[in-house]
């Protein structure tokens, strides 16, 4: 019951937010609508008993990526005029997005129901951690990802430092 | 009882705690800062100036709620709530005693930190929507500092997690009651945590976000009345939450060494709150004695000192734990 109500509320919030992201003329407002979508998706994860994913969604997508998006919008606007994006209607973009929507909808409708193959109980946090860090689990992928991020971090430092001296 | 009613009562109780803390913190801040500066603080209204608080609340409630003419109305209105609501939600995870905690999920520490990462977005919205140079500069400084110190803050909360083997705040407290307070084995983390907490709540060594004579009131310059009140309530709430987190992670939470939870009984709450306010007192004394860091200095301290130190310390700490475990296993 509670889950159903939460799903309806969050689902509506996501649809409204996603719609606003693309229709709102003010770029900064669009960025904040994007954040609203991210928060609502985190709520959805939470009610699907995926607590860990919900927390990561909040920490990373809202806290970090959201901040990056907002800073980017702020830094790239030269004047208040840049805030308003032009409301140009593009037939090509309309058709392309319509086709994409049709393809995704077709895929969703045609694919076998996921409900049957879903596990009965959510995976406990302990099992999740053990899966992630065991040698026959995902530890290699985890290490590669962290190495990649470290390289990116070092590269960012190298790029931004003063190269005159 | 009806689960909806329970949830509602819990939320109201948290709100009450938050409001009481706000009132307490305002009075304490004035008195402590006053005495640190060799002043008296409020003295006129009521005993020891206590009723000054009521006057302030009335002022905040009845003041005109003004909007700057060219402000971004929609964001301007919503910004205080983006700051307030997540700060309010973090209170739910604080374990006041072995029974008194509003929400106790397995990952309560991580959840609390996740909610704490949202208020900077509201602060930024407030500064940007005000369309005022003071507010915008203040917001950029505040947010820059907060996201810089959030990473060392997260990392310095990890050693207690490693020792306790749990991300549940209650479990961390319980495991401290059977061993020692984690401030001893994790002293460097504790110090880093306090520094980052000072930044996250933008208090004096790092309050270039306001720097009164330069930026008026930073990101909140254009706000008045209760909207301003909400932002300040959230700031005091964050102050308490940081102190509560430090107490829970490093100073044994609601326990006292040598006294069992059963013997402590209802006094556990008092012990916890007393510990929190001692830490808040420490924060305020730091605020009263240290001078401001310059913006580029505190960014440098954050990225070039605290971040590498905390990463290296975590590796050293984890390795030491492993070695000790191996030695114990071998002996």
B183-197, B198-212, B268-282: which range is least confident on average? Answer: B198-212
Count the Cβ atoms, other than its own, within 10 Å of residue A118. Answer: 9
Taking CB atoms and an 8 Å limit, are A55 and B111 in contact across chains? yes
Question: Is residue B112 helix, strand or coil?
Answer: helix
pLDDT band at A81 (very low <50, low <70, confident <90, very high): low
A34 touches chain B (CB under 8 A): no
Which of A55, A63, A70 lies nearest to residue B118, judging by beta carbons? Answer: A63
Query: With DSSP H G I counted as helix, E B as strand and the rest as coil, what are the percentages for chain A, rounded to 5?
Result: 75, 0, 25
B104 touches chain A (CB under 8 A): no
Query: ipTM score of the complex?
Result: 0.81
| Residue A122 CB partners (closer than 8 Å, separation 6+) | A48, A49, A50
Average confidence (pLDDT) over A87-96: 84
Average confidence (pLDDT) over B214-230: 74
pLDDT band at B331 (very low <50, low <70, confident <90, very high): low
Give the residue extent of every domain in chain A: 1-84, 123-165
B139 touches chain A (CB under 8 A): no
Shortest distance between the Cα of A27 and any Cα of chain B, in A, equals 12
Query: What is the spatial distance between Cα A125 and Cα A123, in angstroms, rounded to a whole number?
Result: 6
Shortest distance between the Cα of B1 and any Cα of chain A, in A, equals 16
Taking CB atoms and an 8 Å limit, are A58 and B114 in contact across chains? yes
pLDDT over threshold 80, residue A79: no
Name the closest residue on chain A to residue B123, using Cα atoms: A67
Shortest distance between the Cα of B111 and any Cα of chain A, in A, equals 6
Residues in A touching B147 (Cβ below 8 Å): 63-64, 67
What's the mean per-residue pLDDT of chain A? Answer: 84
- Rounded to a whole number of angstroms, the CA Rg of chain B reads 21
Query: What is the spatial distance between Cα B243 and Cα B274, in angstroms, rounded to a whole number?
Result: 11
Note the pTM of the prediction, 2 decimals: 0.84
pLDDT over threshold 60, residue A165: no
pLDDT at B46: 75
Report yes or no: B208 and B293 within 8 Å, Cβ to Cβ: yes
What's the mean per-residue pLDDT of chain B? Answer: 83
Which of A32, A55, A62 lies nearest to residue B110, judging by beta carbons? Answer: A55
pLDDT at B136: 81
Of residues B244 and B201, which shows the higher confidence score? B244
pLDDT at A1: 75
Largest CA distance in chain A: 65
Task: Tokens for A71, please give them.
Answer: 């800073």
Give the residue extent of every domain in chain B: 19-62, 63-330
Q: What is the pLDDT of residues B142-191, one digit of tens each?
A: 888 888 888 899 899 999 998 888 888 888 888 888 888 888 888 888 99
pLDDT over threshold 70, residue B215: no
A69 touches chain B (CB under 8 A): no
CATH number for the domain whose boundaries are A1-84: 1.20.120.1200
């Amino acid at each position: 019951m509670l889950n159903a109500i939460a799903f309806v509320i969050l689902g509506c919030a996501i649809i409204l937010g996603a719609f606003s992201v693309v229709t709102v003329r003010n770029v900064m407002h669009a960025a904040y609508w994007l954040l609203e979508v991210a928060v609502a998706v985190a709520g959805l994860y939470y009610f699907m008993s995926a607590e860990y994913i919900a927390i990561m969604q909040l920490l990373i997508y809202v806290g970090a990526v959201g901040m990056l998006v907002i800073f980017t919008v702020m830094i790239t606007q030269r004047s208040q005029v840049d805030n308003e994006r032009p409301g140009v209607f593009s037939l090509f973009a309309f058709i392309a997005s319509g086709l994409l929507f049709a393809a995704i909808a077709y895929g969703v409708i045609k694919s076998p129901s996921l409900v049957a193959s879903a596990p009965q109980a959510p995976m406990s946090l302990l099992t999740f951690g053990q899966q992630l860090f065991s040698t026959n689990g995902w530890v290699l992928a985890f290490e590669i990802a962290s190495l990649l991020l470290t390289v990116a971090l070092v590269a960012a430092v190298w790029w931004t430092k003063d190269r005159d001296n | 009882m009806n689960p909806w009613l329970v949830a509602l009562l819990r939320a109201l109780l948290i709100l009450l705690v938050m409001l009481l803390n706000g009132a307490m913190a305002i009075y304490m801040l004035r008195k402590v800062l006053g005495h640190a500066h060799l002043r008296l603080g409020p003295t006129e209204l009521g005993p020891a100036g206590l009723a000054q608080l009521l006057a302030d609340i009335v002022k905040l409630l009845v003041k005109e709620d003004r909007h700057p003419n060219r402000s971004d109305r929609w964001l301007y209105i919503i910004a205080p709530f983006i700051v307030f609501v997540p700060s309010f939600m973090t209170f739910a995870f604080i374990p006041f005693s072995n029974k008194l905690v509003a929400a106790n999920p397995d990952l309560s520490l991580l959840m609390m930190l996740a909610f704490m990462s949202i208020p900077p977005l509201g602060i930024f919205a407030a500064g940007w929507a005000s369309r005022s140079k003071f507010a915008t500069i203040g917001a950029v400084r505040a947010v820059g500092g907060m996201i810089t110190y959030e990473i060392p803050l997260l990392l310095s909360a990890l050693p207690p997690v490693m020792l306790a083997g749990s991300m549940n705040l209650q479990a961390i407290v319980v495991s401290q009651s059977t061993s020692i307070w984690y401030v001893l084995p994790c002293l460097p983390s504790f110090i880093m945590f306090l520094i980052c907490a000072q930044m996250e709540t933008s208090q004096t060594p790092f309050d270039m976000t306001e720097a009164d004579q330069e930026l008026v009131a930073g990101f909140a310059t254009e706000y008045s009345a209760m909207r301003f009140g909400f932002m300040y309530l959230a700031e005091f709430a964050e102050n308490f939450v940081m102190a509560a987190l430090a107490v829970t992670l490093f100073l044994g939470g609601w326990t006292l060494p040598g006294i069992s939870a059963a013997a402590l009984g209802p006094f556990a709450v008092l012990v916890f709150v007393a510990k929190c306010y001692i830490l808040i007192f420490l924060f305020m004394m730091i605020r009263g004695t240290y001078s401001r860091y310059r913006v580029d200095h505190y960014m440098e301290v954050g990225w070039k000192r605290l971040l590498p130190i905390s990463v290296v310390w975590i590796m050293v700490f984890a390795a030491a734990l492993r070695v000790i475990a191996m030695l114990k296993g071998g002996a």
